[in-house]
Structure 1
Amino acid sequence: MDPLPTFSYDLSTELFSLYLQLAGFSREKGSLQMRKHNNCWASLLLLNLLGSLVVQGRPTSIRTERISGSAGDVLEDNPVGRLKVYIYELPSKYNKKLLEKDSRCLTHMFAAEIFMHQFLLTSPVRTLNPEEADWFYTPVYATCDLTPNGLPLPFKSPRVMRSAIQLISSKWPYWNKTEGADHFFLVPHDFGACFHYLEEKAIQRGILPLLQRATLAQTFGQRNHVCLNEGSITIPPYAPPGKMQAHLIPPDTPRSIFVYFRGLFYDVNNDPEGGYYARGARASIWENFKNNPLFDISTDHPTTYYEDMQRAIFCLCPLGWAPWSPRLVEAVVFGCIPVIIADDIVLPFADAIPWEEIGVFVAEKDVPQLDTILTSIPIEVILRKQRLLANPSMKKAMLFTQPAEAGDAFHQILNGLARKLPHGKGVYLKGGEKILNWTAGTSGDLKPW
């Protein structure tokens, strides 16, 4: 995979101030304050200004900013030599046959579970000797049983996972030594190991009881939530690296869009009144800013979607049914400052990626003030966020590259596992000791698969 672009920046302060005055803005204490009664043409003029001055690509003079502190230091950690992983050999009905049945599993946002398996099979951290393993991995494609419109069937996922755990616990001795405390699973459902796309249903189900002691690598993360185990590793959703690479535009293209978003504002099929979906945040975005010239927002999904993100300064990343979406990955890869609207979200690889420094967090209740919040950010802060986003290691950490590359999302997962070593003595059970309840769960989840 070719390297993703980095950018350098230039800013003419005097010219910028002049255009701000024409556009109806004033600079107060280093931030932009929108005056009342500003004209549409003036706002659009400001967009062109930001596009031509704030972000000017200069491939011959690349400027990025080094990430300081613990976050930046661990981005480039090398997990090789720090852990060994044993992969259980399961019957193909748990993985390969599911993929053969529906190849759409390779391109949807849950595909990390498939590519992680393929990566580990040839990774130098793999061991064929389970006696020397630090971690055990069970390759189950729990999101690869799809409806005709491409959505995972959540009621089957816990049955598939229970079946796989019953198999490894009966065929190998390692699960029973710890009841899964030295095992890790990829569970990239909307609400992780709660296996549902509706939060209310996910909370009712809870994390599959047999996974309570395991380490879960999951796209879902929200503080103080029943679907997030302590010690889970929050990972990015899958976004196709090759497809994004194919849509790169010249790095000197001006960023002429101030705020960009494409997606649903109302899920009319499942939530016709719009109050439950996204907890009303997306509906609020549309109602407040559909006619605001600073906001390029729509339900349309154009063929130029990736190109448009590269022309934008801010990309909205609001919650949907779950707090996360592939927009987080896309925004980072394309250097568009993510505006994260999802209260209490736990973001991917938060111990390695300084989200507070590269993104903007807006509380769901504050969505009606989005325009004021974003135009009040000091220009110097915008520039620094863009320089950090231009760091190639930041982009790579969000991608499941094929073939794998040092520092990519595969390696960040392994780094997360390595940081949890060595296992404490409390991981290993005494002879005959049981902690997990094999009969716990809903009646539907206990059905054989």
Structure 2
Amino acid sequence: MPNIPLRLLTKIHGIVTPTLQRDSATLTARSTKMYAKRAALSLAFVIVLVIFFSISIGTVDLRSYFFPLLQSPAAARPLCATNPVPLRVFMYDLPRRFNVGMFNRRSTDQTPVTSLTWPPWPKKSGLKRQHSVEYWMMGSLLYDGDGREVVRVSDPEMAEAFFVPFFSSLSFNTHGHNMTDPKTRIDRQLQIDLLKFLAESKYWKRYGGRDHVIPVTHPNAFRFLRAELNASIQIVVDFGRYPRTMSNLSKDVVAPYVHVVDSFTDDELSDPYESRTTLLFFRGRTFRKDEGIVRVKLAKVLAGYDDVRYERSVATGENIKASSLGMRSSKFCLHPAGDTPSSCRLFDAIVSHCVPVIVSDQIELPFEDEIDYSEFSLFFSFKEALEPGYMVNQLRNFPKDKWVEMWRRIKAISRHFEFQYPPKKEDAVDMLWRQVKHKLPRVKLGVHRSQRLKIPDWWKRKR
């Protein structure tokens, strides 16, 4: 190796070292940028993947951020984020005498009804229609359609709930109202035969009927053996008729009455407030028992007002038409208690787009976990309603813009109170099945606890 002077080596080192350092720094910077780009691309890919997945399962709606004008109006959106998996229900195949056979009692055909043999509800049934929830629920299970809250399964092992297609309300209306009427024996025998059939069912015995759904919407439905249904999920329209030992909100479902007036489908007036010339409307029976006594008292309190129509009437075809016209031409429709806290009149008012004025201290309303009735209804206690002049003055001073807002809201939600065949998504029956679905977790809790508790209901006993 040649002998290089120390001075020259120092000079060469001073030149080469900074160059190497600069090259190393350049390489490091380039490497850092490369890794940063890769990290950014990876992060962006993950974010896009998460957003795509969220959109696909419906938890993110980018329209609300980037295209707000494309959003659906609030009134048109579903009431809640429903479970995309429908409720699986097994329906027992009962002979027709338990259900549609009551439409034509002369027929001897007892084969279970199918979607092909499903008969329409009788047109000339009058007020029997208001207690026909059982018919529409059965029809919804026979109809094979997508996108609804319920699906019928043929294998009971796959079922989450069991539907008992007994028309208990129609049976009461058909087989003698008066207990001394010999025809009531038919109603009693139907109940006896049904409970015998259920007692022999493997699936009724499995949980004591807790996962079985039975409509009993008339206050006197299942009048002879109602107590035997305590454990099941009952579809009722009024809790005021029965003690808690027979019906309670923890397991039962509040159903709307089936409205008897025609729905107001072309209510598109530019000024609905002024077009409805009657302030407050009521038409019906004024002499009722129990809480219905308030109707007689209201007749006196509301007498003498030119803009209030309080008319005594019985339910005939012509009177139902007159009630429909009266509701459609009124701003507010009065809903006092009948024999029970609720009545069909409330739901007649809703489909007539007449703002309900509810006078009751104990009423329970359907779908209240999803629908806020205060958005389209007014509530008065018995004391307030019977104070002379108070209720009428409140209604006369009610702001027009607030009334119009309620009118629009009631138009938007009235579809949830429609009973129809074929059934539609979020109509009354679809809403009822959703309510059943809401009850099932509590039913399962009760079943699981009862299977392991050594002392049943120990927490209810006094210590």
Q: What is the TM-score normalised by the length of structure 1?
A: 0.67
Q: Could you tell me how far apart the structure 1 residues matched to 2:336 and 2:230 are?
A: 29
Q: Does 1:181 align with 2:213?
A: no
Counterpart among 227, 242, 267 of residue 209 in structure 1 = 227
The residue aligned with 2:259 is 239
Please say if 1:288 is aligned against 2:301.
yes
Deviation string 1:316-343 (CA, Å, 9 cap, x unpaired) is 0111111111111111112111011121
Whether the 8 Å contact between 1:234 and 1:348 is mirrored in structure 2 is yes
Matches of 1:250 and 1:388, distance apart in 2: 14
CA separation of 1:231 and 1:192: change in aligned 2, threshold 3 A: farther
- What CA distance in whole angstroms lies between the structure 1 residues aligned with 2:156 and 2:174? 39
From 366, 371, 382, the equivalent of 2:384 is: 366
Query: Could you tell me which residue of structure 1 aligns to residue 312 of structure 2?
Result: 299
- Deviation for aligned residue 1:159: 5.7
Q: From the superposition, tell whether residues 216 and 79 of structure 1 become closer, same or farther in structure 2 (CA, over 3 Å).
A: farther
Q: Partners of 1:158 and 1:257 in 2: how far apart?
A: 46
Which amino acid in the other structure matches residue 119 of structure 1?
S
1:317 is matched with: 335
Q: Which residue of 1 aligns with 2:61?
A: none
What is the aligned residue count? 344
Partner of 1:418: 437
Alignment of 1:140-289 (within 5 A): 140-145=166-171, 160-170=190-200, 172-190=201-219, 195=223, 208-222=226-240, 225-226=243-244, 227-229=246-248, 230-240=250-260, 244-245=262-263, 251-252=269-270, 254-267=275-288, 276-289=289-302
CA distance in 1, matches of 2:95, 2:162: 16
Structure 1 position 382 matched with structure 2 position 386: no
Aligned-residue CA RMSD (Å): 3.5
Post-superposition shift, 1:134? Answer: 0.1
Matches within 5 A, 1:81-160: 81-101=85-105, 103=122, 104=125, 108-123=129-144, 125-145=151-171, 160=190
Which deviates the most, 326-335 or 407-416?
326-335
Q: Secondary structure at the match of 2:234?
A: strand
From the superposition, tell whether residues 106 and 319 of structure 1 become closer, same or farther in structure 2 (CA, over 3 Å): closer
Residues of 1 paired with 2:432 and 2:455: CA distance? 29
SS at match of 2:87: coil
Counterpart residue type for residue 377 of structure 2: G
CA distance in 1, matches of 2:398, 2:455: 54
Letter in 2 for 1:165: L
CA 1:414 to 1:302, structure 2 compared with 1: closer, same or farther past 3 Å? closer
Cα distance in 2 for partners of 1:221, 1:73 equals 30
The one-letter code of the counterpart of 1:114 is Y
Aligned to 1:108, what secondary structure does the other structure show?
A: helix
The aligned residue for residue 332 of structure 1 is 350
SS across alignment from 1:407? coil
Cα shift at 1:260: 0.6
Deviation at 1:169, TM superposition (A): 2.4
SS in 2 for 1:128: coil
Matched AA of 2:105: K
- Once residues 242 and 168 of structure 2 are traced to their aligned partners in structure 1, the CA distance between those partners, rounded to angstroms, is 24
Counterpart-to-counterpart distance in 2, 1:434 and 1:178: 17
Report the CA distance shift for 1:396/1:97 in structure 2 as closer, same or farther (over 3 A). Answer: same
Indicate how the Cα distance of structure 1 residues 333 and 284 shifts in structure 2: closer, same or farther if over 3 A, else same.
Answer: same
Which ranges in structure 2 are unaligned for 5 or more consecutive residues?
1-71, 107-121, 146-150, 314-318, 457-463
Q: In structure 2, what is the Cα distance between the partners aligned to 1:434 and 1:176?
A: 20
Query: Which one has more relative contact order, counting CA pairs under 8 Å at least 6 apart?
Result: 1
Q: 1:40-84 CA distances to partner (integer Å, 9 max, x unpaired)?
A: xxxxxxxxxxxxxxxxxxxxxxxx9735xxxx9763665662310
SS of equivalent residue, structure 1 residue 261: strand
Cα gap change, 1:81 to 1:128, in 2 (>3 Å): same
Q: In structure 2, how many angstroms separate the alpha carbons of the residues matched to 1:364 and 1:151?
A: 30
Which residue matches 1:308? 326
